[in-house]
Structure 1
Amino acid sequence: MNTPTSRRLLPSDLTIRSITSDDQELVDSFIGPERIAEMKDSGFTESDEVTTRQLISLVSAGVLRGWFVTLPGHGALSIQTYAPTGVAGVWSGECVTAPEAATLGFRGVGTACMALAMDALFDDPQVHRLMGYVAVTNTASLRMCERLGFRREGLAREQMPIGDGKRSDAAIMAILRREWEGAATIEKKLIAS
């Protein structure tokens, strides 16, 4: 429900909490097999099921960072997971919005949720850069990244599996620690736009 009268969701409307060992059912609702099948055009595939089963133990062990961003009175709107890439200080992330988020009457759910998670991630001084691949067919995610200050650094050809043996090119999107303005500044810009 994205109508002209819908209100923009802001980071200050939300809260963030770490993923815990009690969250497997909630994790499954965001990125379980059925949900992955629904999102195949965005680059999620059945191979992500392994990560889903291991997510909580990887977050608990400190290998991954993971949060749920919640809307008070409603519950979790987004799951945010981030992993080191193997290069010191460079992290990659995934964010998935709750399936029912579109029915709440808010615009900008992904932007508001990811802004809070980026504050949490960049709170660690060892995180220098956040990057990710976004399917070129996923225009909403590309716009969200641009609103958050990411830069398009290149194109990875046939990077994203999109189901039925097909692949999509992906934009390489990245932001440096020094470029991150913070959720409060992003919120001011969203209000002004």
Structure 2
Amino acid sequence: MVRPVRDADLGDILAWRNQPHVRAGMFTQHEIAPDEHHSWFERSTNNVARRLLIVERAGIPLGFVNFDGVEAGGIATWGFYAAVGAPGGSGSVMGAAALSFIFSDTALHKVCGQVLGFNHASLRMHEKLGFRQEGLLRQQHRMGDTYHDIICFGLLREEWAGN
């Protein structure tokens, strides 16, 4: 089941986002403070082109998915992370559920994702879900003294429908 984020979810989402293994694969890796988190949520809920979603299985949250740029015929970007304690393989289940939801609930043309080159689990998940690699931004993201590649992915509505 896919549902919109509720106020009651904010504590869980912050805890999931601040897990060290989650932060390690994110473009922004600092620990998010509660006030920063609440400001983000307020801005996001006032943005009609953004969907904040929780994916559940049997009433238990598997994780969080965000789509930005949602509009008819539009091209949205997405991001996601699993709940603390989510079973192995939850990322693919969560991604498939969220993509089915967003393509059936909206008239999006395409969903795009960007993955840091060292995040092999996310790279595999995008490929498993049918995304195609559309680009490589070499040494595009700086973390400390190291530059990392960004892999760009895209999934068209008709590709998902045939998936």
Same fold by TM-score, threshold 0.5 exceeded? yes
Aligned to 2:91: 110
Larger RCO of the pair (alpha carbons < 8 Å, separation 6+): 1
Moved more, 48-57 or 128-137: 48-57
SS of corresponding position for 1:99:
coil
Structure 1 contact 155–169 (Cα < 8 Å) conserved: yes
- Farther off after superposition, 89-98 or 173-182: 173-182
Counterpart-to-counterpart distance in 2, 1:58 and 1:70: 24
Moved over 4 A (4+): none
What does residue 50 of structure 2 align with? Answer: 64
Residue 11 of structure 2 aligns to a residue whose secondary structure is: helix
Partner of 1:136: 117
Q: Which runs of 5+ in 1 are unaligned?
A: 1-14, 186-193
Partner of 1:173: 153
Alpha-carbon distance in 2 for matches of 1:127, 1:48 = 32
Change (3 A) 1:124 1:85: closer
Q: Is the 8 A contact 1:91 1:127 kept in 2?
A: yes
1:40-84 deviation digits (Å, cap 9, x = unpaired): 4313424684873334324432341011112226x2111001101
Q: What is the identity percentage for the equivalent residue pairs of Structure 1 and Structure 2?
A: 26
Q: 1:54 to 1:167 in 2, by over 3 A?
A: farther
RMSD of Structure 2 on Structure 1 (CA): 2.7
**Does 2:63 match 1:119?**
no
Structure 2 CA distance for aligned equivalents of residues 156 and 100 of structure 1: 32
TM alignment of 1:140-151, pairs within 5 A? 140-151=121-132
Gaps of 5+ in 2: none
Query: What is the rounded CA distance, in whole Å, between the counterparts of 1:48 and 1:179 in structure 2?
Result: 36
TM-score, normalized by length of structure 1? 0.70
TM-score normalised to structure 2 length: 0.82
